[in-house]
A = this chain, B = another copy of it.
Amino acid sequence: MEKHDSLYKIRHSFAHVLAMAVLDTYPDAKIAIGPAIDTGFYYDIDFGEEKISDEHLKDLQKKMKKIAGRGLEFSGTPVTAEEALAHYKNNPYKTELIQEFAAENKELTFYKTGDDFIDLCAGGHVENTKELPLDAFRLDKVAGAYWRGDEKNKMLTRIYGLAFETKEELDTHLKMIEEAKKRDHRKLGKELGLFTFSELVGPGLPLWTPKGTLLRKAIDDFVWELRAEKGYKQVTIPHITKEDLYKTSGHYDKFADELFKVGSREGKNYFLKPMNCPHHTQIFDAEPRSYKDMPQRYAETTMVYRDEQSGELGGLTRVLSITQDDAHVFCREIQIKEEMNAIWDIVEKFYGAFNFTLGVHLSFHDPEEMDKYLGTPEVWASSEGLIEEIAKERGVDYVVDLGEAALYGPKLDFRATDSLGRTHQVATIQLDRNLPERFDLTCINENGEKERIVMIHAAIAGSLERFSGVMIEHTAGNFPLRFSPTQVAVIPIAEPHNEYAQGVNDALVAAGYRTTMNTSKDGFGKKVRAAKKEKLPYFIVIGDQDIEANKVTLESRDTGESEQLSIEEVLTRFNEEVQ
């Protein structure tokens, strides 16, 4: 969204009108910044002693409509720093911004809305408040926000507004939000009994129940199945290491703050691993490798740890213990393309199975901040060139994101769009010519010479925690058959049907399906409701007619339809669906 977009202008203008409404009601409030954002706008405001909450929004919104209805013109005028500072002498936030802009010799402009209100602002507004679509906006919520996002600063009050061009767009967005709330993975995770948090263990550290573990395992098994076809082998590493490993890898210098430090009684320093690549290099490097042994493809599903600030923790989206399905390919230069394409194939198959649409981002380095990375500009240029070449050859649309590269190399990042239209950072493929340099990783080539190899880092589901959260919301807990912790409920209508039902259940279990059988004395309706509440993909009902016909009645969660089938037909259908 650019300054010239009409939607940007609408949202940014609403921010000014919000500030006007606030100052009209609370003349002592000090306004800080008020940008347009993805779904509307916000304004950060210091209300002093006044406590502002969601219940104040109704009045503010009414006042905003009144102000906009007055048909005020937006007009900008350049000002000197002195003029600006004089105007804002009682506002420390604007004062700080003005001093900064002045120090950078930036041009300062004041934007007026009618005659009453002036805001320090770079522009991008509608011409007149009459143009604002008053039925396509609403004030949304109040939140706390540190001034400039720094927790050392004062906490301001942020008022969020939603704004679109039409009422229909606003309604669609509100409906999506409503649906997203229903699908919140924290809520569904609890209802479906997938994971839990314990106050004794701490926030950001999910504990997975048997059902949740089955879900994780089904996801992970699928990744393994796809990887096995491409020759990946499982390896196993410990979760800690002496700091020497990260001194060699370079992570120590760049990331020491985000690493969990582990103290031992002998005073040795260990770290909890925040990634697996340095450990995996040590397996590759344990013996000399011939070109005949290349590539070596190591994969491992294992937890890594990041010392996140506790304010950033929430549900499965941001956790302290992240289970990565992490792979590292050690290969020769001439093998890079084939290996990266093989991983890309896996990514497409994996996300395709869940009906996610994938966006491709080439995360490249920012040439103006070379100190954030390891390696020379030449190595970066060559790696990035190769990645772009692969993307072009596959004929996909892609976006280049400068400054989003990993410490050691550029990345191919995939973003999945879910059923509510939200995008999530998911799989990643990274090309790394720096760690092989730092760990001096080589193979012996056809001429008997040492040849520097390259590393490719690849995660498919990425973080099993985050992916589980995304998938729960994407499917609203209606997991595809293969991934459902319990796949089928077998429900005898009444006691005389229990024995036959047991046989059906046993046949399903023998075929590898996860079932639940309800032979309690509960009424039939109650049994069906229990199965539906668990969102099981199928349930099988057994009554007199089924037993007579030597069949079962299969009902599908997704179609709502039921059919009388033989157990063989049921298994055939299930096997096809799982494939």
Contact = CB atoms under 8 A, between A and B. Distances in A.
Interface stretch (A125-133, A239-247, A390-398): A239-247
Interface stretch (A19-27, A109-117, A263-271, A405-413): A263-271
Contacts of A278: 200
A534 B309 CA distance: 49
B200 A237 contact: no
B272 A240 contact: yes
B200 A238 contact: no
Contacts of A260: 240, 262-264, 270
A202 B237 CA distance: 12
A233 B207 contact: no
- Copies of this subunit: 2
Contact of A286 (B196, B234, B262): B196
Interface string A189-208: 00001001011111001111
Contact of A320 (B201, B209, B236, B240): B240
A201 B279 contact: yes
A355 interface: no
Interface residues of A, number: 59
Interface string A264-299: 111010101000001100110111000000000010
A283 B207 contact: yes
Contact of A200 (B214, B216, B248, B268): B248
Nearest to A321: B238
B201 A213 contact: no
28 contacts: A193-B287, A198-B285, A200-B242, A200-B282, A201-B237, A201-B245, A201-B279, A202-B268, A205-B241, A206-B238, A207-B238, A207-B282, A207-B286, A208-B236, A209-B286, A213-B233, A214-B234, A238-B320, A239-B305, A240-B320, A257-B265, A260-B263, A260-B270, A262-B272, A263-B263, A265-B307, A266-B310, A272-B272
Given A198-B245, A201-B245, 5 more contacts: A200-B244, A201-B237, A208-B236, A212-B236, A239-B239
